[in-house]
DNA sequence: ATCTTCATGACAACGATTCTCATTCCCGAG
DNA sequence: CTCGGGAATGAGAATCGTTGTCATGAAGAT
């Protein structure tokens, strides 16, 4: 077994292109169902299941970011590669990607101080942007 | 209307005492259903609905912290008052409350730099603790 | 063009959470 | 102490996001 078993396939289909295209249109985080709506509104017919599957695949491939509402709903948004966090307007959803090397180091150090290994973290900032002021 | 309308009542019942008691027993974050189980195991009979209601009320009163699994499930844990974050073992759930004044300032500054007001943030650190190493 | 296989979609199923509403019981007024 | 009103409870139904099922459709290799 020299090759790591690839669970993937990544077959290019009309539906996947439609979801990707819809993601380009949005600026903030959207739920799977909202994205399904957007796809429909663009004139592409894609089943809801497929939207869910596609978004999940993209999330696995780090092509979209996922975050959770207070109510537990998953929100998606296309993202730049690499580790980053988000500054999200809680009114209009406008999102700014931010980086914080200081924070990364702080988190790793805190974890190490307590004997924790294999460290990861989640960090999101919420506020109201100027246009929504 | 001189008095701020208090939506609350906080009537002391056997069930609420049972949930609070169960929360004392646990060290990590537990789901509402797990807490329901713990309450039952302790010999107190409390309906699942009531556990949910009680936990929500306690969360509103900042008596418990809530965080969300990747799968969107809500986890609860009794907490100290004041703003703090968590270092959670992703295997056993053991939790350490941590503070990070630096991070707070960083988040506020980043938000301000982008014109965001009324800022809040979420931050959790995950890892594997020594006992689970 | 053909064939193999992955992808799709309508719908059922699932699981966490919330709602409903008849009943229970906390607690302050009398 | 007793009563009465209204909050609290709980069993089960309902909700809602999400995932599973499986027959059909379509990429892409040969």
Preferred mutation among A59, A75, A97, A116 to probe B, highest tally of B CBs within 10 A: A116
pLDDT at residue A91 in the model: 85
Model pLDDT for residues B14-72, shown as the tens digit of each residue: 999 999 999 999 989 999 999 999 999 999 999 999 999 999 999 999 999 999 999 99
Measured CA to C1', the nucleotide nearest B33 is: C16
Residue at minimal CA–C1' distance from C5? Answer: A9
d(CA A50, CA B57): 38
Residue B130: DSSP 8-state:
G
On the question of a common fold for A1-79 and A82-133, the answer reads no
- For residue B32, the surrounding DSSP H or E stretch is helix B32-41
How much is the pLDDT for B121? Answer: 95
> Average pLDDT per run of 10 along chain A, which is 133 residues long?
46 96 94 97 96 96 94 95 93 91 95 96 95 89
Q: Which residues of A touch B97 (CB under 8 A)?
A: none
Q: Which strand D nucleotides have any atom less than 7 A from protein CB atoms? A: 7-12, 17-21, 26-28
Domain extent listing, chain B = 1-79, 82-133
Q: Does CATH number 1.20.1440.230 belong to domain A82-133?
A: no
User: Given this model, what pLDDT does residue B10 score?
Assistant: 79
Chain A residues within 8 A (CB-CB) of chain B?
68, 72-74, 87, 89, 96, 98, 100, 102-103, 106-107, 110-111, 114-130, 133
Q: Residues of B near A (CB-CB distance < 8 A)?
A: 68, 72-74, 87, 89, 96, 98, 100, 102-103, 106-107, 110-111, 114-130, 133
Q: What is the mean pLDDT of chain B?
A: 91
Compute the CA torsion angle A51, A57, A58, A62 (nearest 10 deg).
150
Nearest-CA distance A32 → chain B (Å):
14
Q: What is the mean pLDDT of residues B66-92?
A: 93
Under CATH, what is the fold of the domain B1-79? Arc Repressor Mutant, subunit A (1.10.10)
User: Residue A9: what pLDDT?
Assistant: 60
CA atoms of B109 and A3, how far apart (whole Å)? 47
What is the reported pLDDT for B9? 60
d(CA A87, CA A97): 6
**Closest Cβ–Cβ partner in B106, B111, B120 for A103:** B106
pLDDT over 80 (residue B8): no
């Amino acid at each position: 077994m020299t090759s790591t078993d690839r669970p993937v396939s990544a077959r290019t289909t009309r539906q996947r292109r439609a979801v990707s295209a819809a993601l380009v249109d949005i600026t903030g985080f959207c739920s799977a169902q909202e994205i399904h709506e957007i796809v429909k509104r663009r004139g592409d017919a894609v089943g809801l299941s497929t939207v869910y599957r596609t978004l999940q695949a993209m999330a696995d491939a780090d092509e979209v970011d996922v975050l959770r509402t207070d109510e537990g709903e998953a929100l998606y948004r296309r993202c730049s590669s690499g580790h980053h966090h988000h500054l999200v307007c809680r009114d209009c959803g406008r999102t700014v990607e931010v980086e914080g090397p200081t924070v990364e180091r702080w988190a790793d150090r805190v974890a190490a101080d307590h004997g924790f290994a294999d460290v990861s973290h989640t960090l999101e900032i919420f506020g109201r942007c100027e246009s929504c002021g």
